[in-house]
């Protein structure tokens, strides 16, 4: 059964950044620039960790794996800009 994971990264080199981003985006949903939500089985998580360990420079880059339980998901608050464009009010002076 898959478990939800937040995967966050900070990659110093643009080439490594693109490779890491592609690897994670294949398995999860982007929440922000360097934050993904991934529903992974244990085997998928270990495969992703091994793959990213080969892609990054451990002295310059970081990758964090944070478990996200159903209670965390239910308690999450999402604030986002509206999809509708803002309408300017017409002022007559």
Instruction: Give domain status of residue 22, yes or no.
Output: yes
Q: How many domains does the chain have?
A: 1
| Domain assignment of residue 24, yes or no | yes
What is the CATH number for 47? 3.30.70.240
Query: Does residue 83 fall inside a structural domain?
Result: no
Residue 70 inside a domain? The answer is yes
**Contact (Cβ atoms closer than 8 angstroms) between residue 8 and residue 35:** yes
Q: Is residue 91 part of a domain?
A: no
Is the residue at 92 inside a domain?
A: no
- Domain hosting 33: range is 3-74
pTM score: 0.80
Residue 1 confidence (pLDDT): 83
pLDDT tens figures, 31-88 = 999 999 999 999 999 999 999 999 999 999 999 999 998 888 888 887 766 555 555 4
């Amino acid at each position: 059964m898959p478990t939800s994971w937040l995967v966050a990264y900070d990659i110093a080199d643009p080439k490594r950044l693109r490779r890491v981003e592609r690897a994670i985006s294949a398995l999860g949903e982007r929440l922000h620039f360097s934050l993904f939500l991934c529903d992974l089985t244990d085997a998928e998580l270990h495969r992703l960790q091994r793959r990213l360990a080969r892609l990054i420079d451990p002295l310059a880059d970081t990758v964090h794996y944070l478990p996200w339980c159903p209670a965390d998901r239910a308690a999450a608050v999402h604030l986002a800009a509206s999809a509708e464009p803002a309408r300017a009010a017409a002022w007559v002076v």
